[in-house]
Amino acid sequence: MKAVRTDNPPVIDGRIDDSCWSKANVATDFTDYYMERLAVEQTFVRVLYDDQNIYFAFECLEPDPNSIVGVERKYDQPLHEEDSATVRLDTFHDHRCTYVFGVNTLGTRYDARLGLFDYSDDSTWGCDWTAACKVEKDRWYAEMAIPIANMLFDHKDGVTWGANFYRREKGLLERTYWCYRNSRARYPIEYGHLTNLDLANVKLKRKPSFETYGSATADFEDDSTKLSTGLDISLRLSSELTSAFTINPDFGQVEADPDTIELRDTERFLAERRPFFREGNEIFGTPLKIYYSRRFTDIDAGAKISGQGRNWTLGLLDVQGEIVRDDLPLHGNYHVGRYFRNIGESSHIGGIWANSAREDGTNITGGMDARLFLDSTTSFTAQLLGLRDSEGIETDGIVDHDAYGLSTSFSGGTTPVYWRVGLLDISRGFKPDLGYIPRRNIRGPSSYVRYRQYYDKDPLKSVQALSEIDFYENDNHDTVLRDFMEGAGVGFHNEVELWYIRSDRFHAPYQNYADRIRFEYNEEVDVWDSITASVAKGVYEEEPYHEYSLEKPMKITNLLVTTLEGNYRLKEPETGGQENIWLWRWVTQYNFVWNARIKFTAEQTSEDRHNLTMLFSWPMALNKDFYVLLNDYEVDGEKVRAAFVKMVYRF
């Protein structure tokens, strides 16, 4: 598709009646991802650009506007449960990384990045851009204006970008792509071409951008008040490089992480929400995670450089702050680096390193990784890392100063079969200070296979099956983990979906198993008119149990939504009798017409953990955000009862 330069940019109002749009080329013939045929309700996309923005206009046919699902009004929330339009851009056309910009019919924006090893979008990335939508009697429109300088790009004329356009339509349950060669259309290796981009005169913002905040916290537990302020600075170095600096950054999570009573014997992975880590976060993702930003519990100051060129990608992060090691807070200097070079059309080879210079010692990790594509859907991935720790890593009374980690895998497939086989070898002392390595002293193979097929005739709508196997030994050749998980699901055109999942998991010294049946109704059509329930029976660490769960979202009005979730587990301990373990969560959100929202969260568990939160958030202007938070929760034995007020100002 050829992009068209315009000297008269469109007004972003959700209407495509500006004269400039009549000069744009039109992309259509969208293909339904599920049925792999041309969409019934087609979409038309137009592209314009100038020296500041690239503009996209979606015209989405919809003969029944009442079937449109549009509820979310908060920026950067997932839109996969709503009617939406999405642009995916590979700005270097190197088939590796992607910018994602999406909007629902209310004009709510979502943006993200997709990195080398990502299977899903990383929504921690974000930038300033505008969008507007308009629903009419037989179609709806979406307009976007995305500043080119907010992305990394090739600063010259005659540039071609990789691009794909995606529409999610809830009425007929169509998931459609403009460029569709196979079911991996969301990945940049399968994108179409957006040509005729003359970008040599795009204006880069050379002046630094500032974001400052002021906050006040009143702690009712110890009757104290804390005032805080900090500054973040971002500076564009070139069209391919950007930098960020921070002093006492805003580390307020604003909302506590949702509680859980899941049965697990490893650390829970938590998503990053803090602003300093957003730009370039996807660069540091590798199969073995030696950089997990949630390890930082406090930062005095930090600096970061990240960028991408046609044949290279770079990320550098340096932080003076605090982490927790063996339950002890430790100050120090922490550095993470990532660099890789492109090989051929889609492959790469690179390295990653992390240095922890704590007040009590050092922990250094580094190594190489590569991903080689055999064809557009089949790839081989490998990563080899070494570690040295000055104080040693203690495991079961044994101290290791040197350790290693190895991960390899083959993966591929398109509809209806996806597969992956791999080999993992992680030594006993492989514990990077800044990493997330849930299991150590394991080596062995793993496999994953999934079958998924959709049908357009009654009664069947879909048939799915999956199998996952992991088999690991330790350095004494003792089996420490042997997992078998199989599942099958069937969906019907009356929007009922049934799943049966069987798991047999040996995690030394325990033999665990579970049988689970899950029922879903109307989840794909309208999540706010759906219900999900499951029943499970099994044994976990020699204790039999029965478990029941329920989730019911509801849309009370177009501005007021609520979700009720509950888990109830009945255990039979070895000591006899029965033990009840439960968790319920109620989340209610009201969106004001003036773009503010108030959200109430209530959680309670049988273990006396609770979370009561009321959050008021208001983007007062493009450069101002205001928050008020009331918290009453307990996490890891720590009780928090506090009020929090924060103002963020960007200039």
For residues 593-603, give the mean pLDDT. Answer: 89
pLDDT tens by residue, 178-236:
999 999 999 999 999 999 999 999 989 888 989 898 989 898 888 889 898 989 899 99
Highest averaged pLDDT of the listed ranges 34-38, 281-285, 362-366, 527-531: 362-366
Closest CA to 433 of 500, 387, 488, 468: 387
* Residue 556 reports pLDDT greater than 90: yes
pLDDT tens by residue, 403-428:
999 999 999 999 999 999 999 999 99
* Residue 62 reports pLDDT greater than 70: yes
- Measured in degrees and rounded to the nearest 5, phi and psi for residue 372 equal -115, 120
Task: Decide: 206 and 56 in contact? Cβ < 8 Å.
Answer: no
Per-domain residue ranges for the chain? 4-197, 266-440, 447-587
CATH level 3 topology of 4-197: Immunoglobulin-like (2.60.40)
Name the DSSP letter for residue 122.
B
User: Which structure tokens are listed for 581?
Assistant: 């373990």
pLDDT tens by residue, 322-359:
999 988 999 999 999 999 999 998 999 999 999 999 99
Three-state SS for 414?
A: strand
Three-state SS for 107?
A: coil
Please provide the average confidence, as pLDDT, over all residues in the chain.
91
Query: In Å, what is the CA distance from 509 to each residue of 142, 478, 564?
Result: 56, 11, 36
Closest CA to 558 of 49, 30, 36, 68: 68
Record the pTM.
0.91
pLDDT computed for residue 635 by the predictor: 66
Cβ atoms within 10 Å, residue 319: 24
**DSSP secondary structure, 5-37, as one string:** E-SSPPP-SS---SGGGGGS-EE---EETTTTE
pLDDT computed for residue 253 by the predictor: 46
pLDDT tens by residue, 353-394:
999 999 999 999 999 999 999 999 999 999 999 999 999 999
pLDDT computed for residue 622 by the predictor: 79
Biggest alpha carbon distance in the chain?
79
pLDDT tens by residue, 433-475:
999 999 999 999 999 999 999 998 878 999 999 999 999 999 9
Confidence of residue 595 (pLDDT cuts 50, 70, 90): confident
